[in-house]
Amino acid sequence: MNSIPILTPLELKVMDVLWKLNKGFVKDILEHWPESPAPAYNTISTIVRILQDKKGCIGHIAHGRTHEYVPLISKDEYQKAFINIAVEKVFAGSVSSLLSTLMGNEKVSMDELAELRKIIDKGGESE
């Protein structure tokens, strides 16, 4: 996949479940939904169709009239592409500007900052 679409928060939650399961039916996505209450079956069914037909992020395996959905892009691929888009569009291509923003973010813990430092020291290779 050359370019990735930007996913809405609900689409990203569906993808997160599929990434954890590796594949699943709509009922499986709902059973593993990270919050309570889970959205309606029809809502998830619609999101899955959008992710498949319009955004190309998932495919399906037909089982009679039902479909089992599979991610066509890995979580790692999505994260890397998303960050690349963010760096280009939000930080004007400046990785240092992105890191500076992260360092000033109160949501980043000291442990996470230490992990970033290790990654930087290794030349960008994460574990």
**DSSP structure class, residue 105:** -
Query: Could you tell me which residues are beta bridge partners of residue 58?
Result: 71
Q: 1 pLDDT exceeds 50?
A: no
The 3-class SS string of the chain reads CCCCCCCCHHHHHHHHHHHHHCCECHHHHHHCCCCCCCCCHHHHHHHHHHHHHHCCCEEEEEECCEEEEEECCCHHHHHHHHHHHHHHHCCCCCHHHHHHHHHCCCCCCHHHHHHHHHHHHCCCCCC
**DSSP structure class, residue 32:** T
In this prediction, residues 28-47 reach a mean pLDDT of: 96
Contact 72, 15 (CB under 8 A): no
Higher pLDDT, 103 or 46: 46
pLDDT tens by residue, 69-122: 999 999 999 999 998 988 898 899 888 888 888 777 777 788 887 887 888 888
Across 5-14, 39-48, 98-107, least confident range = 98-107
pTM: 0.81
**How far is 83 from 77, CA to CA, in rounded Å?**
10
116 C-beta neighbours (distance < 10 Å), count: 15
For residue 46, the number of C-alpha atoms closer than 13 Å in the C-beta half-sphere is: 6
pLDDT tens by residue, 83-95: 898 889 889 988 8
Contact 34, 16 (CB under 8 A): yes
Q: 68 pLDDT exceeds 50?
A: yes
